[in-house]
Amino acid sequence: MWLRGWIMLSVLTSIALIVLFVGFLTHASLPFFSKYGVSPIIGQEWYPYENLYGFLPALVGSAWAIAIALIIALPCGLAAAIVSVEILPLRYQSTVNLGIDILAGIPSVVYGLLGIALLLPWLENNLDLLTGHSLLAAGLLLSVMILPTITRLSQDAFRDIDNNYREAANNLGLNWSQQLVAVLLPQAWPSIRSASLLATGRGLGETIAVMLVVGSIDRIPDPWYNLLTPAQTITSRIGREMGEASVGSDQWSALMACGLVLTLCVAVLSIIAQTPHKRAAHD
């Protein structure tokens, strides 16, 4: 009885907190939207001193950074999961897991400092850039940071596959790569998909490491696929400007609106990430 009450209380508290946060963000960004409308979301210029609050450069920057991260981290994480679960003997698995957990445990500011000390000079020297501060640098850092999430959840996906499938595939005479492509990957796919979506949410919200390497300049890459130019992400903008905006000002409200847009994006991703699980369970 006590236990049930306690659990109910925790659940209600969590729900209340979510409602409180989203409610606060909405409340705080309302003055901005009522004054400027929703058109700033596709505006291209962000100059608080001139009352210009265009979200687009930061939105594009965030999208590019996370896209680069996923392109790199998804194949790597998936491969690591396949190797550790399907190929390595059980006793080596814990070693792999230890490595991944250490990767996950490194604070993001440390990634940022490593980015400044190693990644930026490397990019400058090898790609002959004016500056290493770029979307590519942000994407590369993010890829390492979301790798553990993708690997760990993909490992679970493969572990959850019933051994009967493997035996049946063996009995059919499928070789290993056929087994992987025809049996294991399709079975694990729903979980891998939600792993990627969760990792996307985490990557979108990452602030300090991105802020240190992205260049923080509010410009859409020109041409649009030029990933070697400095740019801005939503989080890096909030991180840079939150301290200087006085509470209640337009700028403050605009930053809250940025936060709200980001939160909504991540919330949508999380909801999408949940759905395939249910469908798979019904099949």
Please report, as ranges, the residues that interact with another protein according to CB under 8 A: 47-50, 116, 120-121, 124, 130-131, 133, 215-217, 230, 240-241, 243-247
Indicate the helix (H) or strand (E) that contains 107. none
User: Measured from the CB of residue 109, what is the shortest distance to another protein in angstroms?
Assistant: 13
Can you tell me the distance from the alpha carbon of 279 to that of 282, in angstroms, rounded to the nearest whole number? 5
CB of 35 vs another protein, minimal distance in Å: 16
- Shortest Cβ distance from residue 62 to another protein (Å)? 16
State in angstroms the smallest separation of the CB of 133 from another protein.
5
Q: Looking at 120-175, list the stretches that DSSP marks H as alpha helix, in order from N- to C-terminal side.
A: 120-127, 135-159, 163-171
CB–CB of 239/211 below 8 Å? yes
The residue among 203 and 215 lying less far from another protein, judged by its C-beta, is 215
**β-strand 52-53 against 46-47: which pairing, if any?**
antiparallel
| Residue 215 or 259 having the CB closest to another protein | 215
- Give a three-class secondary structure readout of 1-32: CHHHHHHHHHHHHHHHHHHHHHHHHHHHHHHH
CB of 66 to another protein, least distance (A): 21
Nearer Cβ to another protein, position 67 or 245?
A: 245
Nearer to another protein, 33 or 122 (CB): 122
Determine the Cα–Cα distance for residues 150 and 199; give it in Å rounded to an integer.
Answer: 6
Report, in Å, the least distance between residue 247 CB and another protein.
6
Residues recorded for the chain: 283
Cα gap 28→59, rounded to integer Å: 20
Query: For residues 246 and 226, is the Cβ–Cβ distance under 8 A?
Result: no
* Closer to another protein by Cβ: residue 84 or 232: 232
Task: Give 77 or 139: the residue with its C-beta nearer to another protein.
Answer: 139
Candidates 196, 209, 213; CA nearest to 81 is 196
